[in-house]
Amino acid sequence: MNSFARTRAEFVAAWHSFIRRRTAVFFTFFFPVLLIVIFGALVTTDPTGGGLFTEPPEYYLPGYLAVVVLFTPLSRVGSTVARHRDGNRFEKLATTPLSRTEWLLAHTLVNAILVGVASAILLGVLWLLTDATFVFSPLLLPFVVIGTAVFCGIGAILGRVADSQDGVIAAANTIALPMLFLAETFVPPTLLPEWMGPVIDLLPLTYFSRGVRAATVSGGPWLADLAVLTALAVVFFLVGAYALPETD
């Protein structure tokens, strides 16, 4: 069995494992709809020009996508690694030809499909329920897939360093929630203190949101953001694969 066959076998197993978890399936695809209903339909821009939500509706599109690109792989991969550790699955996997890189690649592909479908639902609901004006750019696909790979790698690292599934969820929320609002998603940089500029540039999600906004809303340059995001995906994927335990 070659590398492709091993990765495919793990992909199929991971996919069926997700499908059997009906609650996870429901909330993975229902959450984007709920998000749009709350932020896109109920929270409108302030006519007085004050507050946080003063940008045009399409400005927040990268933020909506960032929620699924950030939280889904971060929590799912991290929890899977922690669950495998608790069940001594990695000790069993160590007796098979499947490498850590192949294991993480298979789970990254599963998450990329899930995030891609959730993002498509999100875009459709946003188009139907709001007056946001944006372009259905083909560049969305590489940004979503590569962004998912970044946070799958980080999720694998969290799964290794956290001592339990609860610890993974707590660590993921601690990382994801501040990043979600600081990475040029829902809060424009002009509303943040000037000293936070360098911090924003250190966040992986920043390059996702900048690139998506350039590709779908502003029409600005996106290549540099995609290049940085790709480099981060390679780094975090390799570190995440290395962090996976060979034995428990």
Q: What does the pLDDT look like over 57-95, one tens digit per residue?
A: 888 889 889 989 999 899 889 989 988 888 778 877 878
Residue 42 has pLDDT above 60, yes or no: no
At 23, which amino acid appears?
A: T
User: What is the DSSP secondary-structure string of 177-201?
Assistant: HHHHHHSSSSS-GGGS-GGGHHHHH
Residue type, 12: V
More confident: 152 or 167 = 152
| The pLDDT value given to residue 47 | 45
Domain count within the chain:
1
Residue 61 lies in a domain: yes
Mean pLDDT for the stretch of residues 10-39: 78
Cβ neighbourhood burial of 113 (10 Å; 0-12, 13-18, 19+): middle
pLDDT number for residue 53: 65
Query: Above 50 in pLDDT, residue 37?
Result: yes
Q: Whole-number mean pLDDT of the chain? A: 86
pLDDT in the model for residue 43: 55
User: Taking residues 139-164, what's their average pLDDT?
Assistant: 94
In a domain? residue 33: yes
Flag whether 230 is in a domain. Answer: yes
At residue 85, the pLDDT reads: 85
**Distance, CA of 93 to CA of 100 (rounded, Å):** 9
- Which domain range does residue 183 map to? 3-243
Residue 108 lies in a domain: yes
Domain-embedded: residue 31: yes
SS3 assignment for 65-85: HHHHHHHHHHHHHHHHHHHHH
Whether residue 9 lies inside any domain: the answer is yes
Flag whether 40 is in a domain: yes
What is the reported pLDDT for 205?
A: 96
Taking only the tens place, the pLDDT of each residue in 45-61 is 454 455 556 678 888 88
Res. 163: pLDDT tops 70: yes
Average pLDDT over residues 23-38: 72
Whether residue 164 is contained in a domain is answered as yes
